[in-house]
A = this chain, B = another copy of it.
Amino acid sequence: MTTPKLASRMERIVPFYVMDLLARAKQLEAEGRSVIHMEVGEPDFITPEPVIEAGKNALYAGHTGYTAATGIPELRQAISDHYGRSFSIDVDPARIIVTPGASGALQLVMSVLIDPGQEVLMTDPGYPCNKNFVELVSGVPVGVPVNADSNYQLNSTHIGDNWSDKTRAVMVATPSNPTGTVVERDEMARIHKTVKERGGHLIVDEIYQGLVYGQDGYSSLELADDLFVINSFSKYFGMTGWRLGWVVAPHAFVESLDTLAQNLFLSCTSMSQYAALEAFSPRCLDVLEQRRDEFRKRRDFLLPALQDIGFRIPVPPQGAFYLYVDSSGLTDDSFSFAYELLEAQGVAITPGKDFGIHKPEQHIRFAYTNSIENMAEGVRRIRKFLAR
């Protein structure tokens, strides 16, 4: 088999390293070994029953055809109502475009904004796909190294310092994957101002909205109507496999996003959209709030437990379901550490390497998408591993 000539972007779009680790974990499990999973970026709950019921009803009703490329009007309205109810923000449903997951939203926004050679600022560490959506359209993702001193987030100073005449947009995620940290409201306002002053565009990833603990969440949509906000039914709403997200765009971009959605996606999955209408029902929100509470308990268990065995967590994460820990007191190579831990003790974690090039060898992401009981066993096993 000869190596084919690939488009040059494929040199820069790499697989998730954790996939290999996951494959090895599955192999071990197939051999009868027990593996504690703390690497998975997906809630361990199935979709709430009311949504599943609504999905079945959508099938009964024969909703099996294409929908409008921007989503069914009822769902765009329901999302608008959600912003009104949860954040007291008035969002015109015409600005809401339903997409195949937040992935679809990210792709639309990058494709509509970024010309070849233009730069997009984002955090390093950050969600690995973000940079690849920029690569796809021959743009240049610029990872800005962030540390505990800025909550592992961009701030307005970073943006000023890293702005070039090629910078077109800034992307911020709050709460963030992998760090679980949030951008405080005041800082987001400064970021927005800084980006606008330079004539760029702000893109805010809010896909972990709703999964914030011990503080009230907010939406950056309260700041202005000239920014792009990306969201998803996957995380808080527990609908990963339904592939449904959305973007709220400035009015002036809606038509182009619609055109692009027609061409790239035709439409989102029909029954997913009808099912998602039920995601905002009181019955479903009750379930989701119970789950949020469970995630908070898990964070409150795992954070001190990891500190106790020697991981440093300089900024307590306030959201998502991740702890991004500094492992440099225990290893100088988090990647090997992760593989050795898996082989020796059957614990799966995600080494920093998947999230960027800024000190990845000193960091590990733990996902608390597993029960406290299982995580306690995981921590016991890590303790044993460290005592080896």
Which A residues are within 8 Å of any B CB, using their own CB? 1-4, 6-10, 13-16, 19, 42, 46-47, 52, 55-56, 59-60, 62-67, 100-101, 103, 107, 111-116, 128-129, 132-133, 136-138, 238-243, 250-253, 255-256, 258-260, 262-272
Residue contacts A-B, CB under 8 angstroms, 13 given: A3-B252, A4-B253, A15-B258, A47-B64, A65-B240, A66-B241, A100-B243, A103-B266, A107-B264, A116-B138, A128-B263, A129-B264, A133-B264
- Beyond contacts A4-B252, A132-B263: 6 other A-B pairs, Cβ-Cβ < 8 A, are A7-B115, A64-B239, A65-B240, A65-B241, A136-B264, A243-B267
What residues of chain B lie closer than 8 Å to A59, measured between beta carbons?
52, 55-56
Whether the pair A15, B259 counts as a contact (CB closer than 8 A) is yes
Whether the pair B265, A242 counts as a contact (CB closer than 8 A) is no
What residues of chain B lie closer than 8 Å to A16, measured between beta carbons?
262
Considering the chains assembled together, what is the distance between the CA atoms of A3 and B255 in angstroms?
11
From A130, which residue of chain B is reached at the shortest CB distance? B263
- Closest-CB distance, A212 to chain B (whole angstroms): 23
What residues of chain B lie closer than 8 Å to A67, measured between beta carbons?
241
Whether the pair A19, B264 counts as a contact (CB closer than 8 A) is no
Interface centre among A8, A13, A241 (most CB of B within 10 A): A241
Whether the pair B6, A113 counts as a contact (CB closer than 8 A) is yes
What residues of chain B lie closer than 8 Å to A116, measured between beta carbons?
116, 138
- Closest-CB distance, A73 to chain B (whole angstroms): 12
Whether the pair B64, A1 counts as a contact (CB closer than 8 A) is no
Whether the pair B7, A240 counts as a contact (CB closer than 8 A) is no
Considering the chains assembled together, what is the distance between the CA atoms of A255 and B263 in angstroms?
25
Whether the pair B259, A10 counts as a contact (CB closer than 8 A) is yes
Considering the chains assembled together, what is the distance between the CA atoms of A270 and B270 in angstroms?
13
